[in-house]
Amino acid sequence: MNVWLTTQVSQPAVLVTVVIVEGSGPREPGAKMLVTARGQHDTIGGGHLEMCAVALAREMLKGAATARLERYALGPTLGQCCGGVVHLAFELVGPELAAVLAGLRARPREDHWRLSAIDGPATALLLGPGESSIPAVDRERGTHVLRDAQGRRWLADPCLAPRAHLVLFGAGHVGTAIMRLLGELPCTVTWVDEREDMFPADPPVNVTVEATDMPEACVTAAPADASYLVMTHSHALDQRLTEAILTRENVGWFGLIGSHTKRVQFERRMAARGVPQDRIDNMVCPIGLPGISSKLPAAIAASVCAQLLMVWERQQTAALNAPARLAVAS
């Protein structure tokens, strides 16, 4: 997840950002990679495009080059079948940009915009929600280039906190396998289990560990529209958590590990407790994508994470299409 940001390098580096994509391109605007003389962290995709971008970044490291914006025609220039045009921004990571990146790392669950001058002296700014800027950022757009009153070009780049949040109950083999994959995905996770010794010593940076003997409290504390995944070591605990999830408001998605038989049992028990049928119907059990029958923890994890990505992309699309959408508070 955001390797370009979480990887801290001590040697000189160039930050490469996809700014504009015309037609078909390998990555979306806002995708980034960090390039050093001998390393590369994250990817802008595209094979030959990325190779050319890395080469240019390393040429910049050899001199005192300033920021620059480069246009790549994928078909005519690079021989790629995508056929689109990609504009990349190249920024030397000097003291100001390094401070911006440190600010993003310090507040990973907050929305920010970063502003970097493409022309003239190196200038980098980090803006939180509601902060004004010179030049003014169009907060309804994604990554873009704008000009100030003097005609100077700036890269305006939203660095938004992940919208997807999962509360995962269970630190067994399957839960741990899922967590390894989620550590690479654009989401935040609260990982809950009563057994503190089950958690790894160094969980992914987007994961918050909750070792508690009152896991139901994590259901109450979860943000609105969070996703929930229940796979504990105890059917009795699974049932308590299921009831807590199905009786709270604003549940984005709920998955329960188990067989069709377990689903039937839990449906009957929830109905007997007065849980509305429409909420029971929204419970996903068994979990995972149809057609994958392997019981290997890694296979289950791959299937469930793919399922979550599908859910989160649908939710993101719905949010973007909502009339009252506001990606960053203004």
* Per-residue pLDDT at 330: 29
pLDDT value at 318 more than 60: yes
Q: Nearest Cα to 58, choosing from 28, 16, 19?
A: 16
* Per-residue pLDDT at 327: 37
* Per-residue pLDDT at 294: 93
Report d(CA 204, CA 106) in Å as an integer. Answer: 15
**Does residue 325 lie in a domain region?**
no
* Per-residue pLDDT at 328: 36
Contacts of 137 (CB under 8 A, 6+ apart): 113, 115, 127, 146, 156
pLDDT value at 85 more than 80: yes
Q: Nearest Cα to 186, choosing from 109, 89, 107?
A: 109
Report d(CA 284, CA 131) in Å as an integer. Answer: 41
The reply to whether 169 and 153 lie within a common domain is no
Confidence (pTM)? 0.78
Higher-confidence residue of 304 and 106: namely 304
* Per-residue pLDDT at 285: 96
**Does residue 23 lie in a domain region?**
yes
pLDDT in tens, 132-179: 777 777 777 889 999 988 899 999 999 988 889 999 999 999 999 999
Range of the domain at 273: 165-318
As a whole number, the mean pLDDT across the chain is: 90
The reply to whether 299 and 169 lie within a common domain is yes
* Per-residue pLDDT at 133: 72
* Per-residue pLDDT at 321: 63
Contacts of 49 (CB under 8 A, 6+ apart): 26, 72, 74, 78, 80, 86
Q: How many domains does the chain have?
A: 2
The reply to whether 23 and 73 lie within a common domain is yes
**DSSP classification of residue 136:** P
The reply to whether 150 and 174 lie within a common domain is no
